[in-house]
Amino acid sequence: MSDITVALNERVVKALFASARDRFSFAKSDSADYGPFSAGYDIALHLERGEVDLRPGVVHVEELDVVWDTLDAWVGIDIPTIALIPRICLLWVPIKGCVWSIGPVTLFEDDPDIKPTIDLSFLVSEVTFDARPDLRFTPNPARPAGVSDLTAHEGGTPHHWELYLDPDAVDLDIVDIADTVGDLLEDAIVGALEALLSPLPDWLVDLLLAPFGALIDIVRWALDLPDDIGEWLLDILGTDFDLWKIVAGAIADAIASEFPLYAVETPYPVQKAEGALLPVLVPIDALDVGIDDTELTLTADFGA
């Protein structure tokens, strides 16, 4: 027979979820080389808001905002070297050979020649998932070995049953703004190229750009980049790096294993210490959880 039932209404569950949500943060960096160009990212994020709805058997969460504290994407571009002037000998001396020469003069000798970084932290991202309750007995790592349950209770180091939410799948929705991303990346590339070419005289820059018409066309020609450069970059982040899956997985793992929604001390203190009387602790034989449209209930069966 059940000895005690704890009922948490939806308002309480929302408050408990908000407490767990506010403890979450995540950061990661990665990069990869693609031959003539390289790419990478640096991210840091936390969660805000979110609508919590109790449904039979599950907790439904939607409109949980992913706030990008940092979402920097960078592209390293190795433009093929351009030889402007070959080595020219101005003075040849018999036996010694060339003693005075100019050149060669080349452009784009570095690798990468430019490495523009764009800030994508303005991206709007939301998380949606259904989570089932998961009860786990969790030994307290701070509890000294060999102490009694009473000593652990009085010392604040008891074991617990902990209630986690285990998401079936976390859906991370990235708002599709490839055009905006593309414009930012093009502006970043143009700015980097302008800085690279700034030491050259204007007439030489005009001569270099004449076959292309624009700075970005140099990069498109050199690397054969697609016209939709924003979609290209988002595809690299989402497909090559699996960035969105990594973030969704980190959120799911944290909710399922790092931040318990609720904890029940075991043995359970059914009576507090009063005066010379010691607290009464009762072992929990079984603990069950149920969810309906209005509340989440924990039902405990106590042992002798």
The residue that leads in pLDDT, 107 or 300, is 300
Q: What does the pLDDT read at residue 275? A: 73
**Is 45 in contact with 66 (CB distance < 8 Å)?**
yes
CA distances from 286 to 4, 12, 69, 265 (A): 11, 23, 43, 13
**Residues whose CB falls within 8 Å of the CB of residue 278, separated by 6 or more in sequence, listed in order:** 150
Q: What does the pLDDT read at residue 105? A: 66
Structure tokens at 276: 């010379």
CA distances from 105 to 14, 99, 209 (A): 67, 18, 17
Query: What's the CA gap between 21 and 23, in Å, rounded?
Result: 5
Q: What does the pLDDT read at residue 1? A: 45
Most confident segment among 79-93, 179-193, 221-235: 79-93
Does residue 93 carry a pLDDT above 90?
no
The residue-averaged pLDDT of 263-280 equals 80
**pLDDT tens across 120-168, in order?**
888 878 999 999 999 999 899 999 998 998 889 888 899 998 999 999 8
- Check residue 238 and report its DSSP letter: I
Which of 8-12, 61-65, 105-109 is predicted least confidently?
Answer: 105-109
pLDDT-above-70 percentage for the chain? 82
What angle do the packed helices 215-223 and 202-209 form, to 10 degrees? 50
The residue that leads in pLDDT, 54 or 223, is 54
Most confident segment among 23-27, 79-83, 186-190: 23-27
The residue-averaged pLDDT of 34-47 equals 89
Selection from 248, 189, 236 nearest residue 38 by Cα = 236
Query: What's the CA gap between 261 and 18, in Å, rounded?
Result: 9
Most confident segment among 51-65, 94-108, 137-151: 51-65
**Exposure class string for 239-267: b at 16+ Cβ within 10 A, else e:** eebebbeebbebbbebbbeebbbbebbbb
**Is 291 in contact with 58 (CB distance < 8 Å)?**
yes
pLDDT-above-90 percentage for the chain? 38
Selection from 261, 271, 278 nearest residue 302 by Cα = 271
Q: What does the pLDDT read at residue 96? A: 81
Which of 139-148, 204-213, 249-258, 265-274 is predicted least confidently?
Answer: 204-213
The total of other beta-carbon atoms located within 10 Å of residue 38's CB is 17
Query: What's the CA gap between 36 and 78, in Å, rounded?
Result: 5
Degrees (nearest 5) of the Cα angle 273, 9, 63? 125
Provide the whole-model pTM: 0.74
Domain boundaries, the chain: 4-79+114-302, 80-112
Tell me the pLDDT of the chain averaged across its residues.
83
The total of other beta-carbon atoms located within 10 Å of residue 166's CB is 17
Degrees (nearest 5) of the Cα angle 27, 190, 118? 10
